[in-house]
Structure 1
């Protein structure tokens, strides 16, 4: 049985500042599809989501959707109003006439496995708990097309497994952006790959994506090599005969110049696609072997106990992973460590020589209005000190996969993954003696 087309995009073109982001993009979303949308940071995944949601018009091309279908969306950022309960948050965008008893029952059925209380205040929830509330908000409407933007960020493994099972049996279509490879492999039966303005379709799930995409990349590499060899032969032949048949060969050499420039652009784009972040390592020492110590620390919020007579000694050279369920106190522990919070009882002792570099998952250190350049060089100039060495800001940005022309772009124009890369660049330029990373891999490429 052929599945019904719910939404179709034909020959789409979208540009930013005169530079095409997509060209001649065509795809279809069918009833029951479980599709993952992959691509490097800044390739346009969020933009494409906004096109499907009707929040971004195409510069060229056509978008069609089946009359009467509904589209649900799990957003990355959760905006909370004062005194707003989880129930109020879920119902916020729902029309009054749709808030039936059946809907209330469905809301309770979704909230229970997500382990959120409908009467809880949103402002009192941890980042992971807020994420669950946002997930409930997207799921309870039971939309025909469900768009998920990084659904596993901040979620416990238990909740991720529940979500996988829920989506496998979901009757509607799912389009998911995620950097969680295992999650994508478990839920998808199709892959949309955004690559250099193109959308390529892998007709099988993410389990087969690496093999499929590697084959395409190797084929492209061979074609680039063959084009280069053919061009060398053509140039050598034309150069020898240019005097004998001047007019014809001058035209031919001009055409070859254009061909060489196109080859150079294609090779440059291919190398950018294959590039990886380069991070230099360094050792920063403090005078004592003990760098921090928690001594019988108590910390509560209202009646909720986070830490009870908690003791811990952190030694120089330790590499510590902080694990725990949403709301168990991971962020509270880190804030106690850096001094943003004080214990109710007990003591947190910090070595006098200790300095912190803190990568905050909320990215509060990034000014949305600032440029990438001024973010790394807030005092002006065009060089930045990176681990004691002077680097040109554009060269340092290239280490984190930013093209030089992006240096003057504002932070607010970046995707979530690009913002994370910029914050990593800022933090790692001058690493202190204690590096704290709070969800550093969220939104980052594989």
Structure 2
């Protein structure tokens, strides 16, 4: 029996079906990667599994006695609890008592001693000391100081504490949603090792291709509401998926060709007002319904970087430069670095080593406290903020991008703002939605749209891969590779670095900055390693440089018949002699071909207006009215053809 079963899960928000009869089985010990485009419903599916969201239909079954745990996607914003309190919280009542006992044990007043005795009695009644040993053991296993407060730890160590909390209860299945977001490479490597040692099943969502390659034993794709399982590695999945899409396109093309032929046949029959083979008419009706029900795969993002005038050949030159805070804390020391036009540089280092400070020095936002930094000429910088601080959450996507403009210039070509947003997969309706309701992937795409709408010859990208789906990520890699200007990337995505950068700059945490030719893998081959790999990890505080840098501001399913309910025996239908068609119906049948022809012309005319390049330049009211008119005319045309088919059958 499977450990976890999803059976015919359906969920819709408004008229949009997010999950459509989706089914999945997961066996004990499997590590299943859930893939899909941004907005397909991957996070929602995990919430259905954890019972946080109730589906419209279908069932979720967990094997009797099985324990489920999850590692949350978002880190706590300001949690002052100690690591012990967080991990022991996996056992709600007992954990609270154990935390209280540890606090009271450090106090000496009489009232505290009385309460301490009562707490101790309750802990013993709940067999709490055994759980205390489990909490202490897992904290020691992960090298976590039990008294360290969560809000003093880096993102990597917070993730480590939360994973300890998830695993202390010895779950049978673990849910992970983008677990590598905001983690540095050593933290990701530690996470991979920790999950590799976990013997339970794992269902995880990730777009980190290196992480997927190491972790996944099976890939499941959520595509247009359906779950498609590939019993394959990630690379095998890519090959199989490409073949599946080619086959789908071929079948759809053949189907559409047949449908077009049948539509031509039916219209010839309409114009001639002749009775046609009604079996063929019914088959056409079924084909139309099948075509209507087909969920077309959404388009792929298509965007380009707006090039500014070329910068000077020299972008920036640092000579024995360094930076330290007023209290004397050194961040960067004795740096010699030259960046030329066209260089693509990846900054690598553990969290807290000063990568953000280095970027601010290179851009002139910070002045060095030692040495000199000389900037080149005609520098136009576009900055991608990992905290999405460039977006106003109270505005919609259109207003965030337009900044009062109706058209934008992209490499000499004028584009309407709505049309430009469509290249980033925002429909006109979605473009007018407030950004606060957007998913992480949608916010990342909007920030890319905003970034690439401004002329630049230097792109600075701070963790650009977080939340982007694989297809958009690959397109971004292509655009950066073709960009004629300079690119500076802070990223912990190993494959992204390999595919984009030509030079790796490593910050070791002591202030030293070293250059290496090539990407992340080249740096590793040249002997590059992180300090924690050699000296053992220690809980690290927040990056002081980062803190001083820029900060970002149901419908019900109808019940099926009751099992075992008796049904009446089928009765044979008596033969009925067809009634003679009335004069009124004959007159209606004669008039229908002309009505159909007029509607077809009207639909063609509206479609021609919509396909015009300046269609979306009109007012939102006019655009919406035209789209609504097309929908009404198409519905009326379909209804009129259905009526003709009905009357032709009677005739």
Deviation string for 1:353-388 (max 9, x for gaps)? 434311111112223332211211233x64344455
The whole-number CA distance in structure 2 between the counterparts of 1:342 and 1:118 is 39
Cα distance in 2 for partners of 1:140, 1:329 equals: 34
Alpha-carbon shift at residue 103 of structure 1 (Å): 1.4
Specify the alignment match of 2:4 in structure 1. 7
Matched residues in 1 for 2:364 and 2:162: separation?
30
Q: Secondary structure at the match of 2:346?
A: coil
Once the two structures are superposed, residues 386-415 of structure 1 have per-residue CA deviations (whole angstroms, 9 ceiling, x without a partner) of 455432222111222223331122223322
RMSD over equivalenced CA pairs, Å? 3.4
Counterpart pick for 1:391 among 415, 421, 443: 415
1:401 equivalent in alignment to 2:425: yes
- Which residue does the alignment assign to 2:206? 178
**Counterpart-to-counterpart distance in 2, 1:279 and 1:94:** 51
Task: Determine the structure 1 residue equivalent to 2:69.
Answer: 72
Q: How far, CA to CA, are the matches of 1:425 and 1:59 in structure 2?
A: 35
Please state how far the C-alpha of 1:165 moved relative to its aligned partner: 3.7
Q: Which residue of 2 aligns with 1:106?
A: 138
Shift in Å, 1:244: 5.8
Q: How does 1:286-301 map to 2 (within 5 A)?
A: 286=311, 289-291=314-316, 293=318, 295-299=320-324
2:53 matched residue in structure 1: 56
Residue 207 of structure 2 aligns to a residue whose secondary structure is coil
- Alignment partner of 2:53: what SS? coil
Considering fraction of residues, name the structure with more strand: 1
Inter-CA distance 239–18: structure 2 relative to 1 (3 Å threshold): closer
Contact 2:177 2:204 in 1 (8 A): yes
CA contact (8 A) 2:312 2:341 kept: no
Query: 1:97–1:421: structure 2 CA closer, same or farther, 3 Å change rule?
Result: same
**2:296 corresponds to which residue?**
269
The alpha-carbon distance between structure 1 residues 310 and 32, as it changes in their structure 2 partners (threshold 3 A), is same
Indicate whether 1:323 and 2:348 are aligned.
yes
- Taking a change above 3 Å as real, the CA distance of residues 310 and 340 of structure 1, as seen in their structure-2 partners, is same
Aligned to 1:364: 389
Determine if contact 1:32/1:172 at 8 Å carries over to the other structure.
yes
Q: Could you give the per-residue CA deviations for residues 196-237 of structure 1, whole angstroms, max 9, x where no partner exists?
A: 111111233434212322232122112112112222332343
Does the residue aligned with 1:204 lie in a helix, a strand or coil? Answer: coil
Look up the match of 2:453: 429
Alpha-carbon contact 2:310-2:378 (below 8 Å) kept: no
Distance 1:120 1:298, change over 3 A: farther
CA contact (8 A) 1:26 1:199 kept: yes
Larger Cα-atom Rg = 2
- Corresponding residue for residue 216 of structure 2: 188
The one of 239, 252, 255 equivalent to 1:224 is 252
- Write the deviation string for residues 44-63 of structure 1: whole angstroms up to 9, x where unpaired: 11111111222212122222
Match of 1:164 among 175, 192, 210: 192
Whether the 8 Å contact between 2:7 and 2:59 is mirrored in structure 1 is yes
Does residue 373 (structure 1) correspond to residue 398 (structure 2)? The answer is yes
- Distance, in Å, in 1 between the alignment partners of 2:149 and 2:332 is 21
Distance 1:294 1:181, change over 3 A: same
Query: Which residue of 1 is the match for residue 463 of structure 2?
Result: 439
Measure how far apart 1:194 and its partner are.
0.3
Unaligned segments of structure 2, at least 5 residues: 96-130, 471-651
Unaligned stretches of 5+ residues in structure 1 = none
Q: Distance in 2 between matches of 1:310 and 1:284?
A: 29
Structure 2 CA distance for aligned equivalents of residues 43 and 333 of structure 1: 37
Q: Provide closer, same or farther for how the CA distance between residues 142 and 308 of structure 1 changes in structure 2, counting only shifts above 3 A.
A: farther
- Is the Cα contact below 8 Å between 1:400 and 1:421 reproduced in 2? yes
TM-score by length of 2: 0.59
Q: What whole-Å deviation, never above 9, does each CA across 1:167-205 have from its counterpart, x for those lacking one? A: 334221101111122322322222221001111112334
Indicate the SS of the match to 1:322. strand
Instruction: Note if 1:413 corresponds to 2:441.
Output: no
Equivalent residue, structure 1, for 2:18: 21
Determine the C-alpha separation between the residues in 2 that align with 1:375 and 1:265.
Answer: 35
Conservation of the 8 A alpha-carbon contact between 1:286 and 1:316: yes
Count of residue pairs brought into register by the alignment: 435
Q: 1:128 to 1:82 in 2, by over 3 A?
A: closer
Whole-angstrom distance in 1 between the partners of 2:327 and 2:133: 33
1:211 paired to 2:201: no
Residues 235, 288 of structure 1: CA spacing in aligned structure 2 closer, same or farther, 3 A cutoff?
A: closer
Query: Structure 1 residues 345 and 119, CA, compared in 2 at 3 Å: closer, same or farther?
Result: farther
Which stretch of the first structure deviates more once superposed, 228-237 or 34-43? 228-237
- TM-score (norm: length of structure 1): 0.84
